[in-house]
Structure 1
């Protein structure tokens, strides 16, 4: 006992409190102000705000940086090209109202950028610009020629901004890793031999290497045009895009600041038109980034034809493993190409697709049964919401869909009734091809035997007449034959059903007297332009998306 009492006491008194550990902000406050400011300058926008809010002293130390931080947040967080603002005045003599552009200098907190080249110059002058950009829209350029550099820019420019831009390009690790000729790239941006939209694509590709914090992106309007012109530049751009995908998918890519590593949403406007065509091939680098969870495009073509030659070749073995939503409006996708795409997106839960025949007659025909059979094969276990319709189809629609039981998780189906109108021919039959409609009597399979038992919501739309109004009405009625009697057994979860049709149809009395709990919507006019069937706002040209 005496021995133990002689030992030095190394514990703590009962009731004493442990000393609090020093926070990071405490150690920062011990540094000289100049060094503290430099450290704050390396913080991301979110970290900068968090550090300043840790204590009064830290806020005071960084308060001088707050105005610039707020300005950068406002100007670049959701970036898009400058659209000239309009001012108006009334001419009292004539009574006419005139409009004029408001100079950017007179608009508060406006940073006038109307081309990717100008944004590159801003980044070259202030590299911190890139970390503020969370979403970026390349869709609109107010001045196409703003992307043109002086022809002697690379060798004779004396402007400080151009010197910095030249240094930014030459020191790009992406261009170096891609093995491209940097001098050729620089010269092409100012060469008479290249078109304006090609120079824009070169500038946009450079910007894609400088976006570590971007979550959402809208590709440029001419993004796919470079794949058709200039093989030298074509190869160089693809080489850089491949490096972007590789670095963005590396382990700890987000922590290391890899460009586009945080990208989640790829979104193009859902505006469809017969003469609007985009090569789906050009959008695949975005799809191949693992962090992407939503992909939306319109007018994309993934089918070879002898006229537009927008063929699709799978450049990447896999697409984003986190991709959950695909929206494709007014697109043309071949059967083989659809298999390639969906086999690389096995975790998709929402698919909205509409087909539109394109100039010049690309996608003349559309095979509902083939499309749905392929979709069931690759997405049958995961898909929860499916929307399928035709914006415009000048040719055949193929055989009738007779089974959707390959969908094991489908809860919501929005589809044109035309998918179930056609000859009762097996989709894989060798007697049917895309170039002709199959022969034979109309299928008589009812919806109660077609739909999967997991379905909760069904929205049907009666589109353009395929077989004549009277025959089509008879077929629609036959789709619901035996529906009421077998519904509880075969479709136990189905509670919401709507049927929408043009006003040119007579009131579907037989349906109303035969069905229960079915919402019937009459559309104004003879077309679907005013479709209102509650498809979560996803309507394009009156069709489901």
Structure 2
């Protein structure tokens, strides 16, 4: 620590600027010098912690709020959240308790079924937002390991179809690859069995490769989360301790066990 504390203030600032939330808090409490280096970033850290540690989407009741009080951190859809992470990757490390049940789909926003939400549409049509999101998808090491077509994945993430659509949930599956510190997870309503298992009635050779890649991605995340020896340190879902099929389970129909089965393999 003595050698570390002899570094210049500017270099210390560069180091703490790259720290995740847990490391940042630890460094800030280590000594006066590191506390001073961290202090200019306290406001950013507290803001990210407030918005993302217990992450919730903006819900229907929040539409009554003054739009001027909502920031880019107040999101309705997963593509918006992914765009925020693409712009500031450290955001993903702040999410510890994630409730994704109330997410809206971009398709429902576009078709007007969610009321006047033109601000969301305008945002996700901006070229810089699109380019950031595309870059995030293309740089995914998980999609690369599966030899996935990242352009096809990007198209499906940005399409973000309606929650009553039987298609696989590409946006949420991709989001799972980015959450190393999540401890409690509430699944979206549209997270269905097709997102984790291929249809048993369909022959493998008639299922498009892009549809095979969602269950394969979920399986890869779980496998690598359990592989502590080969993949030390943090890995997505490694810290997950509590899984909620949805935040509000229907007591009559329940939840299809296939939707949560892969997560039960987490050690």
Report the TM-score range of the alignment, normalised by the length of the smaller protein: 0.7 to 0.9
Alignment of 1:11-160 (within 5 A): 24=1, 26-85=2-61, 101-106=64-69, 111-142=73-104, 145=107, 159-160=127-128
Which residue in the other structure is 1:196 paired with?
162
Alpha-carbon shift at residue 258 of structure 1 (Å): 1.1
Asked if structure 2 preserves the Cα contact closer than 8 Å seen for 1:52 and 1:58, the reply is yes
What does the per-residue CA deviation read over 1:498-518, in whole Å, with 9 as the maximum and x for residues that have no partner?
A: xxxxxxxxxxxxxxxxxxxxx
Alpha-carbon shift at residue 279 of structure 1 (Å): 2.7
Alpha-carbon shift at residue 29 of structure 1 (Å): 3.2
SS of the equivalent of 2:64 reads strand
What does the per-residue CA deviation read over 1:184-239, in whole Å, with 9 as the maximum and x for residues that have no partner?
A: 22233356xx8423678111011000000011101111111645699434311011
What does the per-residue CA deviation read over 1:125-163, in whole Å, with 9 as the maximum and x for residues that have no partner?
A: 000001111111111124553687xxxxxxxx7722221
Alpha-carbon shift at residue 76 of structure 1 (Å): 0.3
Alpha-carbon shift at residue 273 of structure 1 (Å): 4.3
What does the per-residue CA deviation read over 1:4-25, in whole Å, with 9 as the maximum and x for residues that have no partner?
A: xxxxxxxxxxxxxxxxxxxx2x
Looking at structure 1, the residues matched to 94 and 262 of structure 2 have their Cα atoms a distance apart, in angstroms, of: 23
Asked if structure 1 preserves the Cα contact closer than 8 Å seen for 2:48 and 2:91, the reply is yes
User: How many matched pairs?
Assistant: 241
Asked if structure 1 preserves the Cα contact closer than 8 Å seen for 2:12 and 2:34, the reply is no
Asked if structure 1 preserves the Cα contact closer than 8 Å seen for 2:225 and 2:238, the reply is yes
Looking at structure 2, the residues matched to 284 and 225 of structure 1 have their Cα atoms a distance apart, in angstroms, of: 9
What does the per-residue CA deviation read over 1:169-196, in whole Å, with 9 as the maximum and x for residues that have no partner?
A: 01101111122222222233356xx842
Which residue in the other structure is 1:271 paired with?
249
Larger radius of gyration: 1
Asked if structure 2 preserves the Cα contact closer than 8 Å seen for 1:75 and 1:110, the reply is no
Alpha-carbon shift at residue 67 of structure 1 (Å): 0.4
With the length of structure 2 as denominator, give the TM-score of the two structures: 0.79
Which residue in the other structure is 2:236 paired with?
259
Asked if structure 2 preserves the Cα contact closer than 8 Å seen for 1:115 and 1:147, the reply is no
Q: Determine which structure has greater relative contact order: mean sequence separation of CA pairs < 8 Å that are 6+ residues apart, divided by chain length.
A: 2
* Runs of at least 5 residues in structure 2 that lack an aligned partner in the other structure: 111-124
Asked if structure 2 preserves the Cα contact closer than 8 Å seen for 1:254 and 1:261, the reply is no
SS of the equivalent of 2:169 reads helix
Looking at structure 1, the residues matched to 136 and 108 of structure 2 have their Cα atoms a distance apart, in angstroms, of: 19
Asked if structure 1 preserves the Cα contact closer than 8 Å seen for 2:53 and 2:97, the reply is yes
Looking at structure 1, the residues matched to 108 and 5 of structure 2 have their Cα atoms a distance apart, in angstroms, of: 46
Looking at structure 2, the residues matched to 181 and 60 of structure 1 have their Cα atoms a distance apart, in angstroms, of: 46
Cα 1:63–1:200 change in 2 (3 A) is: farther
Looking at structure 1, the residues matched to 4 and 207 of structure 2 have their Cα atoms a distance apart, in angstroms, of: 53
Alignment of 1:105-504 (within 5 A): 105-106=68-69, 111-142=73-104, 145=107, 159-190=127-158, 195-197=161-163, 201-224=169-192, 226-227=194-195, 231-232=207-208, 233-252=210-229, 255-268=232-245, 269=247, 271-274=249-252, 276=253, 278-290=255-267
* Runs of at least 5 residues in structure 1 that lack an aligned partner in the other structure: 1-23, 87-99, 149-156, 291-545
Looking at structure 1, the residues matched to 126 and 250 of structure 2 have their Cα atoms a distance apart, in angstroms, of: 45
Asked if structure 2 preserves the Cα contact closer than 8 Å seen for 1:117 and 1:200, the reply is no
Cα 1:286–1:189 change in 2 (3 A) is: same
Alpha-carbon shift at residue 102 of structure 1 (Å): 0.8
Cα 1:225–1:239 change in 2 (3 A) is: closer
Asked if structure 1 preserves the Cα contact closer than 8 Å seen for 2:96 and 2:184, the reply is yes
